Each structure stands twice: as structure tokens, then as C-alpha cells.
Amino acid sequence: MTISFIYKAFRSLKIKLYSPLYTPIAKFLLYLNDVNFGENLKVRGLIKVIVTRKGSLTIGNNLSINSGNNYNLIGRQQTNTFWVDGELIIGNNVGISTSAIICKYKIVIGDNVTIGGNTVIYDTDFHNLDPLLRANKENDMITAAKKPVFIQNNVFIGAHTSILKGVTIGENSIIGACSLISKNVPSNEIWAGNPAKFIKKI
């Protein structure tokens, strides 16, 4: 009992000591990557930000991020990652947990969007579908298909969802957990599954 009490007290103390550091570290990392970000950024855990010389990342007010093993414990934890070689725009009042957003072309996330843990958003195929072009490592990613992704206002995305290139998710829509979104989702609808299908109107 005594050992358990000491362990739990140490764990609680560790979180209290580290928690105030995460947001300043994130702001510094965003600054180093030349990211424009708004007020009231809140980050729990360490994040990964890679913005290339061609890339652009803009973040609105009140972005909240959970990242890593100690926050939003729903399994499959990862470091929240932004990898930007295109244009990534994140609106106001957005919440993101342990997710990866990989932007080679253009991704726009609207206001009041919630992105559940372990979600991935890709605007590229990463590799060319032609095996001859794919065999050339230098041209493979360069020639891979890219299409923009638009996630409109008030969207809720369940945990472990994959959102692929060329997709628009309409306002107020809900995506069920573990879904694969490979085509447009109209506004005010619930979609879920792999591949995701219409469930019902909201």
C-alpha cells in the first residue's frame, strides 16, 4: 500500500511539474517553423512540427492539443504531428488529440472542429500508383497524386479515423470511430465504417 501511494504521488507530481512546460515548448517549436498561430494555444505533451521551406501553417485562436502517452488515454497513443510541405490552415476553437496531419498540397480545417485520438489526415497518396514511376525513388513522391482536404465548421471526427486526399467533410457532420473517409461527406450527416457510409441525418 505504501509503495503504491508513493508511486501514485510521484506520478501526479511529475504531471504537475511537466504540464506547464508543454505549451511554451510548442510555441517555440512553432516559432522556429515560422508558423502563424493565434491566442490561447494549449498543449499537453510534446508535439512534432515539420514545416518545409515550401510549406505554410496557419493556426487560429484556442487550439487545444493532447499529445503522447500521458494524455487522452484511449490507446494507440502517438506524438501529435504536423508535417507540412503545402498549405495547412487550422481555424478557431479546434481540438486535436494524438493525431497526424500530413500536408503536401492543401488542408483546411474550419472552426469548432474536434479531431479524435490517432486520426490521420493525408492530402497525398505518398507514392505513385504506376509501378514504373514508383520504382524511381526520386520521382515517386513527387509524382504521387495530391488533392486538397476540407474539414468544415463544427465537424466531429471520432478516434482512429483516416481521412484521405480530395475529401470534403461538410459542416456539423460526425465521423464515427475507426472510419476511412475516401469520399465527400455532406453537411449535417453521420458517417462511419471502412469505407465510411452514410448512417443518418443529424
Q: Does 160 participate in catalysis according to the annotation? A: no
Q: Do the beta carbons of residue 150 and residue 173 sit within 8 Å?
A: no
Side chain identity at residue 145, one-letter code: A
Q: What gap in Å lies between CA 180 and CA 161, rounded to an integer? A: 6
Query: What is the DSSP code (8-state) at residue 164?
Result: -
Q: Which of 127, 177, 187, 190 is catalytic?
A: 127
CA angle 177, 178, 184 (to 5 degrees): 85
**Through-space distance between the first and last CA atoms of the chain, rounded to whole angstroms:** 50
Cis ω on the peptide bond leading into residue 131 (within 30° of 0)?
no
Question: What is the SS3 assignment for 157?
Answer: strand
Query: Distance of CA 27 to CAs 21, 42, 198, Å?
Result: 10, 9, 39
Residues annotated as part of the active site:
127
